[in-house]
A = this chain, B = another copy of it.
Amino acid sequence: MYEKKIEEELDCGIRVAFKIFGGKWKLCIIDAINRGIARPVDIHKSIPNATLRVIEIQLAELLFFGVVDKCSEEIYPKKSEYKLTAIGESLLPLLNQIDTWGAKHSEFVKERQSELIDSE
């Protein structure tokens, strides 16, 4: 894992939380796993905008911080299954609130966004 050059603030709950799930696709990955999508390829299929590589990297980080658990069967076609730990599950209410809030404001954000683009 990459070594930071700027000291991290871990005395602030917000910053700790972002360290755990602030990655571009982490909450989407957690959401997918929660919906029963367990294997990397399938997670990738459910989030086509994310590359498989970034899913692997972020899964490894989630694993490192105990948000997900991995059970690898070392048989054909190398079958790894990820599931949420207790920590991961404790994130679900948050995840749902964030998703709901975002969905509620998505039209407004898109509008604002297109104004930016139009004004060029």
Contacts and interface: CB of A to CB of B under 8 A. Distances in A.
Interface centre among A66, A102, A113, by most chain B C-beta atoms within 10 angstroms, is: A102
Contacts of A80: none
Q: What is the total number of copies of this protein in its complex?
A: 2
Interface stretch (A4-12, A37-45, A71-79): A4-12
B64 A106 contact: no
Contacts of A65: 109, 112
Contact size class for A? 35 or more
A104 B27 CA distance: 18
Contact of A116 (B1, B9, B110): B1
Interface of A: 1, 8-20, 22, 24, 27-28, 31, 49, 64-66, 87, 90-91, 93-95, 97-106, 108-110, 112-113, 116
